[in-house]
Structure 1
Amino acid sequence: MLLLRRVPAVSRALAGWGRGSQGVGGLLQPAVSFSSSRRHGVSSDGGSTRPSEGSAPGGLYRDTVLLPQTTFPMKLTGQKQLDRELHIQQECRFADLYSWQRERKAKKEFCLHDGPPYANGDPHVGHALNKIIKDIRNRFEMLRGRQVHYVPGWDCHGLPIELKALGELGTSGLSPLQIRQKAREFAQKAIARQKAAFQRWGVMADWDRCYHTFDGSYEAAQLKVFQEMHSKGFIYRDYKPVFWSPSSRTALAEAELEYDPHHVSRAVYVTFPLIKLPPQMDDSKLVSVLVWTTQPWTIPANQAVCFMPNAQYSVVKRADNSQLLLVATECTAAVAALLGTRLEGVMTFTGSDLKGGTCKHPTIPDKEVPLLPANHVTMAKGTGLVHIAPAHGMDDYSVASNFNLTVDCLVDEEGRFTEAAGPDLQDLSVMTDGTDRVISMLEDCGSLLKEETWTHSYPVDWRTKQPVVIRPSKQWFINTASLKDKAKDALQKVNVLPQSAKSSMLSMLDRRTYWCVSRQRSWGVPIPVFYHRETGEPLITEHTVSHIAQLFKEKGSDCWWELPIETLLPPQVSKAGAAADYVRGEEVLDIWFDSGASVGCGSDSRADAYVEGKDQIGGWFQSSLLTSVAVRNKAPYKSLVVHGFTVSEKGEKMSKSVGNVVDPDTVINGGQDLPAYGADVLRWWVAESNIFSEVQIGPGSLDSARENIGKLRNTLRFLLGNLHRFDPPSQAVDSKDMYYIDQYMLHQLRDYSMKVTDAYSEFDAGRVVRLLQTFITRDLSSFYFSIIKDRLYCDPEDSVGRRSCQTVLEEILDGVTRSIAPILPHLAEEVYLHAPGHDEGETLFRSGWIKSSSVWQRPGLQEAVEGACAIRDSFLSSIPGKNSAQYDLTVAIEPGLLFELMESLQEEPTSTSSQLAELMMAARVNLTSELPRDLPSDALLHHGTFLINLEGIIREDSPYSIAVVPTTAARCPRCRRFTAESVDCLCPRCHSVLSQSH
């Protein structure tokens, strides 16, 4: 005891410790950490390491052993699994859960704003990934006592729905109202199918109160956002280039574009002869500016040629024909290789020296085009000189705006050259025949220097997959240039997972100059504007928009086509007799404005989270941000979670033609060579996936999920079986009276619960799964279960030791069940129905989160048990593959702190029933200060040290030695431990148990 006298804190910490089967009295302080906590023992199913001894005792004493009993099924497969999940949903009132939690009192609210899925088809695994990620977080927040705000929604407008609804009918001969009716019916059917699937997956919501972007009330709220942005000057009408889809005959926003990386263009090198040379050049020399373009069809619309002001340019002479060309000096070598000739430098100067030069247009006689500076010119490919067609390029339009160039559109809505392009080009498709004809014209006039095929990324319509063109038209725009700095500042305050997604979103905002929000379709929210019959000037005021919004709220937006214009206009306008001077607009709003106007939780507060796929970085995340910043001067969300797409197990994009599409309905109900997995397997697949990358799904991942749930189910069954006839309120043992190993497991359970809570809070269900599997495999199956089976099965039913163990098992069962509930709600509720200590009709999700106690964290207790674990490791490693129960173990520790810790687990010098003997799983444990000198010759010796770090007080390596010898005791016929005096004789413990029972 000298050490304890020198360290009073340790003495006080250990003073309250009981001996033998008694527990720890009082909180153990101060903390001590150990260097090792490896465990050995049993398989993951909780089976004992004793080959034969782990089985149930037979013969005479079988009925005296308290083996596990439970009606909880070991395995549910096929239709039984499906029926059980549906029964759980019904019995545990899944449908009422969201409404129940909204009505209860809660100090905090958690708002996860639902990004509306598109109502244009059947539910798919992408839906499953997204909705289950959201539901896992919502269920966790509800369990921890927060009031969850989650209203599912659907994006119901737009071209894809319109096209699918009309099918082969097309729009020929149909009125806008007929088109809208068919599109609405199609969307409603898709919503019904998707909603049923979401409910089957166990997604918690009030499914009778969802939002749909075609609801009149939603459309009215959207118009108020539109009006406020218009009044602030963020929405305006202008004639400028937009992405135009000839296949859909409508303008597109950037978010509605996809990029085909394999698009092949006919790229050309074209000469523009200089007719007015810059002062630095010799007037006697005929020089041609050389430009390169992948869009030859834009040459007829050319208005200028641009150069980079700070770059170097050279006049070079071709060695093969003496032609003089003007190119960027940096591009000379590449051009020479392309032409297959040597280029000799004639003169070199800076780009700014080209200012004032003028070229001859290659295909239009007598037309002159200026040389102009521009910052968008690059040297990455081409000649360092770029031709400018302001009507058909975004950067080109910017140049035109700066230098007052005309913006002449030569392309109609079908992507064909107009009459203005000339008789040789009129009616030709610019992407096919028109390109061919322009190249022929360049060749005929001697301006075509070289043609090549060029494979590059090119924008296509996100639905028709056909190429788009850039053409100007009068459209309604949001001036994102004036919003993006505010939007970027707001985004910097948002927590984005993964962080790389924030960088992507910021760069997209940087590149976006304006947002076209008008569409030339029928199925959408009409832009609330009237146009003067004669002047074409728009009429849009706060009063007109408010009046229309109220009509939409009452009647829906179909009234835009149903009501006379006198009714659509506010009374003060109609009464003044001005209604006859106006016509209603025929354009609808971009669907990204539809969904972006939803803005958070429908109040002035920000949503706690938006959770969508990575395609929404340029879509809903951005449209929501821009509208919210415009209207409320802040981001609509506190956090963004950006998940990946679902792919096949080979990492391939899913495609019906390839045959690798995984249907979530098939996953649950079986079919297409897949068994019926049920909803919880689908949810486990989502939870254990790395959602921030591409998420793979297929038979392999689904089988693995089912197998892992099966292992978990077996562990839960073991816990339930050993709680048979245990009544927690009346039979639970206070933690301070428990065995040390039991208290230690409560300590571990609390640590587990805190880590799980943190993981759920960070949208990291994958970490929850890993924590769960580690806790079950390492802490329970391989360690605790192997140690306690003897006490559970063979001690008296009402003994303190057995009740102590059952108390901990009940806490573990409860904690593990609650920890998996957000991921596996059906399994969690099924376990809860079988678990002891609950009132009739009570459900897990109405009873809260893991109820761990800070009292369970006992550092001093942890030191004692984990110190013994280090010695146990040495013992088990000295008899690899052998049955530890057949050996006697002698532990020798010099007097000191480690000895006192072990003495607290075994007061007597030798014991077969101490807590130390139980933990070692040996026949007998001898605790001494030094190894005896008369050890038998077959004794196995092992020496080790254990680091004790008593923070702020002492740090020491405590050496220990062990001696392992085969036991001389006989095996007890009841408990199968080697603690009996002779064969067929009960050990003292079992003899006492049976004596008390008679």
Structure 2
Amino acid sequence: MNDDTKTATGNDYRDTLFLPKTEFPMRGGLPKAEPKWIARWDEMRLYDRMREDAKKRGAKPFILHDGPPYANGPIHLGTAMNKILKDLVVRGHQMLGYDASYIPGWDCHGLPIEWKVEEEFRAKGRTKDDVPGDEFRRACRAYAEKWIEVQKQGFRRCGVEGDWDHPYLTMNYESEAATVREFLRVAMSGRLVRGSKPIMWSPVERTALAEAEVEYHDRKVPVIWVKFPAVGFGHSEDWTAEQRAKIKEFLNVYAELVDGSNPPKIKAASVVIWTTTPWTIPANQAVCFNPAISYGLYEVEAVMSEEELGFKPFATVGERLILADALAESVMDSAKIAGFRRLADVPPEFLQTFTLQHPLASLSNFYKHDIPMLAGDHVTDDAGTGFVHTAPAHGEDDFLVWIASGHTASDIRDIVNEDGVYEHPDLPDALQGLDIIRTSGKKRGEQGKANPEVMRLLTEAGNLLSRGVTTIRDAHSWRSKAPVIRRATPQWFISMDKPGANGSAPLRELALKALEDTGFTPPSGRNRITSMVADRPDWLISRQRNWGVPITLLVSPDGQPHTYALPEDKANEVNKRILDAIAAEGVEAWFSADAATFLDGIADPAGWEKVTDVLDVWFDSGTTHAFTLRDRGIIDENSGQADVYLEGSDQHRGWFQSSLLECCATRGMAPYKQVVTHGFIVDSEGKKMSKSLGNTVEPEQVANQFGIEILRLWTASSDFTEDLRISDDILKTNAESYRRLRNTLRYLLGALDGYSEAEAVDPADMPGLERWVLHRLAESDALVRKSYETFDYKRIMSAMLNFCGVDLSAIYFDIRKDSLYCDAPSDNRRKAARTVMSLVLERLVTWLAPIMPFTTEEAFLMSQFAGRADSVHLLTFPDTPKSWLDSAHAARWEKIFKVRRVVTGALEVERREKRIGASLEASPEVYIEDKTLIDAFEGESPADLFITSGAKLVHGEGPADAYRLEDTPGVAVVPAKASGVKCARSWKYFDPATADPDFPDITPRDAAAVRELRGAA
């Protein structure tokens, strides 16, 4: 089995050896080869061919619906990994026998694109307000088109197969019309409401934002403690009997603390609040307390000196403060109060009767209104003072407790405009026009002038008790990265708890039921999205932007949308006009028209107004199932569902949820059967990737250095349900895995040179080793199929690397290379080996095709199977007979391999000590205590299995100095050198007395093979 087979006898055996021969190169050359394969697939219309082939097979559809990336920049490693993972799902199910179509898509509207276009206009010296709306929208459309093409090429380079010629775009006219159609279905269902309540507002982008559009970051903010003077107990006619009793008790016990006014008030007492948003104090309308908290009245007895502090404390000796008992000491410390005493309990019944004075009341009539005290469960004594300053226009809890107390949204004081600037006709001049955060320039997102001025005014009014700086985790706009504020503005919402007009269940109930019927990978995803849906507020769907699908509502003179104000038949007629116009001209048909365009002949347009807000972009993407799958006839209009949605875990609050809510609102069900989520990419140390840290990896960089197939291997080998680590070293490890898999394919192709079906051997006639390989193929087939069904690609990669590296390379190939190279062509053992190798190759190229599409295509087209199809990707996984599965036979071979491991270890020691060169120079004695292990070798040649020239199995314990392995007790090996002479053809040692006279330098087996090959008698 060497190249130098010409011996001293003059015999040259080189032409009689069957050494592997193939044109499949050892190195893949992936960076240069992969684009050529993609070009070939495009030229042959592979995606269309796959669809045609699946239909001929009558295959069951499998639909992965693509979550649309934003068309606003080149792809990055995260989006590349996401698309590769989807490709594994689609290709895997296609080869499982499904008709697995894939339509890629893009999200083209919304803030991410609009913000980039604004930046482009600003660079040209034009603000958004300077640009006419239609011009701005044209620029947004052109911007999206540019990046769609760039991203398409990037995803295609990742080997992602799909209908790239017919992707879905949310900005296509038909898509925009479909989104409007879905919106109007929601509006007609009675779930649409209009209200003014605090929502997250971005002063930088001048629009409302939903939770999915913000991210949370730490930032330093001012913190202030503010006194709200108590001016009375309210009016006695409003008191309950219990309150009267409590107040009478207080007046009797603490008479010296109460003045003689009617109604009475506590002398010099103030309720103290704590806030990190001083700018909301001018909008204060109440103070909240919690009846479950213990409160007390405290008197200041001493303050720290100005000399000691370097500044004068705001607190004064003798003033009285009402605080939660659990927080009194921390408040006193913050206010630099050196001494204080508790004067009295302040029961909750007492607090509820209080009327407070606004802390700025002495400075302006704008603040001379009563401040009530309201009970609220959101108040705690974990931090602060035990009281919560309440500005219903700027806090969700504030708003809810305000409404629950009997007030209405119209009572709310709205003093902040869309730019995040104070604006109100009655607001004092000192505050007019002050910004909360900076919305432009280098300091965009930093604190504006509002907070410092409010603190100055509180100091002037004598009601600032203390101030400081703290760090909070607060909402920031995902796009501008600037902080957002809470601001009450008129907005459109989809109600979560209002029943549908047709008597259908509330949306929250429908969505929670749909989640129960949905599968999740990983299972924890169910709890995550379920808790979000259970606790989420109404869906805020209106945005004050230009680039998006409009909220196509016409509002009647009495403030009702046309879907409510008009009879159903007339409302539907208006809806049809709207839909026809947008289908023909896109969203511009709405923006360029007036109300009369859609109402003419249906209703008197006088006094009607057209809504100019656009839909939340999440509503756009939430409707993609409608125009991508339903309108194209891929799934049923009303009852169809995609088989799977797959995105990052952040989409539990994003696309998964918006798609769920939209489909439940319009069809009463989820748009998907399964939800699969992946983690995010981090570096080798688990750190988030950042250009500033220099730890980013770009897909183009990987493609040029390693080939995209290595990135695909990395994706498949990782546990994608967790965060995925990547680095140059990790990629090199995957490149090594690729090398091992490629070498396996190369060896099989070489070993099968010239193979045909005529050579095939029936499994019943195969040697035991071959039947063991068939058993392993049957086991692997079940594992591979199950793993592709359940998206467990890591399990596939682990199994394939183990199968190729251990079962094949270390065992089967190693043992059978002698037979493959040296046995006669007619020898059953050699033919059986080639038959099994053919079966192995057939399965490996298909099992690995979804993960390694380029390499498996190359191997397939060089194999004997190439005539079956024009591409490996037009095949399905071959059927594997159940009869191959033989657990008893496998158990027998595990016993053989148990012994073989000890022999291999002993021979390795002999080689290391240079007592032998190759294992064929050995003829070991193997002592085995367990007779069943010896029996397992019945009918087999131990020497062939050990790859030695001879071997003897002995029942017994063996010498004390024999070689043993700790994990394999009862097996001992005594190495010995083989006797006889070395075969010039196979290198085995044999007894020369047994040699064929015509071929004295080779074994009888080799001589018979040579005679057959040379036609000798």
Distance 2:282 2:370 in 1: 12
| 8 Å CA contact retained: 1:140, 1:760 | yes
Mapping for residues 22-33 of structure 1, pairs under 5 Å: none
Find the aligned partners of 1:230 and 1:70 in 2 and give their Cα distance: 66
Change beyond 3 A, Cα 1:91–1:486? closer
- Identity of matched residues, %: 33
Q: CA deviation at 1:787?
A: 0.6
Q: Is 1:274 matched with 2:230?
A: yes
| In structure 2, C-alpha distance between the alignment counterparts of 1:859 and 1:830, rounded to whole Å | 35
Residues 945 and 960, structure 1, Cα contact 8 Å, conserved in 2: no
In structure 2, do the counterparts of structure 1 residues 770 and 735 end up closer, same or farther at CA, with 3 Å as the change threshold? same
Matches of 2:859 and 2:455, distance apart in 1: 74
Match of 2:817 in 1: 789
How far, CA to CA, are the matches of 1:312 and 1:631 in structure 2?
49
Q: The residue matched to 2:624 in structure 1 has which SS?
A: coil
- 1:809 equivalent in structure 2: 837
User: Counterpart of 2:989 in 1: which secondary structure?
Assistant: coil
- Which residue does the alignment assign to 2:771? 743
Alignment of 1:90-239 (within 5 A): 93-101=45-53, 103-166=55-118, 167=120, 168=122, 169-239=126-196
- Structure 2 SS opposite 1:789: helix
RMSD: 2.7
The answer (yes or no) to whether the contact 1:98–1:204 under 8 Å persists in 2 is no
1:442-841 aligned at under 5 Å gives the runs: 442-481=458-497, 482-532=506-556, 537-540=560-563, 541-563=571-593, 565-567=595-597, 569=598, 573-575=599-601, 578-599=604-625, 601-602=629-630, 603=636, 604-668=639-703, 670=704, 675=705, 677-727=706-756, 729-839=757-867, 841=869
Please identify, of 970-979 and 626-635, the stretch whose mean Cα deviation from structure 2 is larger.
626-635
2:285 and 2:391 in contact (8 A); partners too: yes
- Determine if contact 1:867/1:946 at 8 Å carries over to the other structure: no
Q: Aligned partners of 1:297, 1:185: CA distance in 2, in Å?
A: 40
TM-score, L = length of structure 1: 0.86
Deviations 1:637-683 (A, max 9, x none): 22211212223445443444554443322322x3xxxx2x2221221
d(CA) in 2 for partners of 1:372 and 1:445? 24
Are 2:241 and 1:259 aligned?
A: no
| Kept in 2: contact 1:111–1:608 (CA 8 A) | yes
- Note closer, same or farther for the CA distance 1:922–1:900 as it changes in structure 2 (3 Å cut): same
- Which residue in 2 is equivalent to 1:329? 325
Distance 1:802 1:846 in 2: 31
Q: Distance in 1 between matches of 2:960 and 2:933?
A: 27
Number of the residue aligned with 2:990: 979
309-318 vs 57-66, which moves further: 57-66
CA contact (8 A) 1:246 1:415 kept: yes
Letter in 1 for 2:783: K
Report the secondary structure of 2:148's partner residue: helix
SS of 1:813's equivalent? helix
* 8 A Cα contact 2:115 2:479, kept in partner: no
TM-score (norm 2): 0.85
- Listed as ranges, the gaps of 5+ residues in structure 1 are 1-52, 906-913, 948-958
1:889: how far off?
4.0
CA distance in 1, matches of 2:586, 2:791: 38
Q: Report deviation, 1:137.
A: 0.8
Contact 2:273 2:384 in 1 (8 A): yes
CA apart distance, 1:707: 2.5
SS at 1:319's partner residue?
strand
Structure 2: runs of 5+ lacking an equivalent: 234-245, 260-266, 303-316, 363-367, 438-447, 498-505, 564-570, 631-635, 911-917
1:124–1:663 Cα contact (<8 Å) kept = yes
CA distance in 1, matches of 2:656, 2:358: 44
Q: Deviations along 1:74-131, whole A, 9 cap, x unmatched?
A: 1133764345534553576534345335633434221111111111111221211111
Partners of 1:563 and 1:399 in 2: CA distance: 41
Deviations 1:274-294, CA, capped at 9 Å, x for gaps: 112472644244321111000
Which whole-Å CA distance do the structure 1 matches of 2:827 and 2:45 have between them? 39
Q: How far apart are the structure 2 equivalents of 1:198 and 1:553? A: 29
**Range 392-401 or range 375-384, more displaced:** 375-384
Residues 1:576 and 1:859: Cα distance change in structure 2 (over 3 Å)? closer
8 A Cα contact 2:521 2:677, kept in partner: yes
2:376 corresponds to 1:374: yes
Letter in 2 for 1:116: P
| CA–CA separation in structure 1 for the residues paired with 2:394 and 2:3 | 81
Q: Does the CA contact (< 8 Å) of 1:265 and 1:455 recur in 2?
A: yes
Structure 2 CA distance for partners of 1:414 and 1:939, relative to 1, 3 Å: closer
Is residue 2:430 matched to residue 1:424? yes
- Indicate yes or no: 2:317 matched with 1:294: no
- Does the CA contact (< 8 Å) of 2:96 and 2:785 recur in 1? no
Q: CA deviation at 1:173?
A: 3.3
Does the 8 Å contact 2:846/2:875 carry over to 1?
Answer: no
Give aligned pairs, total. 909
- Indicate conservation of the 8 Å contact 1:682/1:702, yes or no: yes
Change (3 A) 1:868 1:735: same
Distance 1:944 1:397, change over 3 A: closer
Deviation at residue 979 of structure 1 after TM alignment: 2.3
CA contact (8 A) 2:550 2:612 kept: yes
Partner of 1:39: none
Structure 2: distance between partners of 1:417 and 1:101: 65
Q: What pairs with 1:829-978 in structure 2 (closer than 5 Å)?
A: 829-839=857-867, 841-882=869-910, 883-890=918-925, 898-905=933-940, 914=941, 916-926=942-952, 940=962, 964-978=975-989
**2-side partners of 1:943 and 1:765: how far apart?**
34
**What is aligned with 2:568?**
none
Partners of 1:236 and 1:938 lie apart in 2 by 88
Using the TM superposition, give the Cα deviation of residue 992 of structure 1 relative to its aligned residue in structure 2, in angstroms. 1.7
Report which stretch shifted further, 658-667 or 358-367.
658-667
Are the equivalent residues in 2 in contact too, given 1:74–1:717 (CA < 8 A)? yes
Give, in angstroms, the shift of residue 458 of structure 1: 1.2
- Structure 2 vs 1, CA of residues 303 and 56 (structure 1 numbering), >3 Å: closer, same or farther? farther
- Residue 499 of structure 1: CA displacement? 3.1
User: Where do 1:388-427 residues align within 5 Å?
Assistant: 388-405=390-407, 406-419=411-424, 420-427=426-433
Kindly indicate whether the alpha-carbon contact (under 8 Å) linking 2:101 and 2:162 is maintained by their aligned counterparts in 1. no
Measure the CA separation in 2 of the matches of 1:512 and 1:709.
Answer: 46
Distance 1:769 1:92 in 2: 29
Equivalent residue for 2:240? none
Q: Note the C-alpha offset of 1:859.
A: 2.3
CA distance in 1, matches of 2:1005, 2:960: 29
Q: Does structure 1 retain, via aligned residues, the 8 Å contact 2:75–2:154? A: yes
Q: Distance in 2 between matches of 1:493 and 1:901?
A: 51
Q: Distance in 2 between matches of 1:430 and 1:332?
A: 30
Q: Distance in 1 between matches of 2:546 and 2:575?
A: 19
User: Secondary structure of the equivalent of 1:817?
Assistant: helix
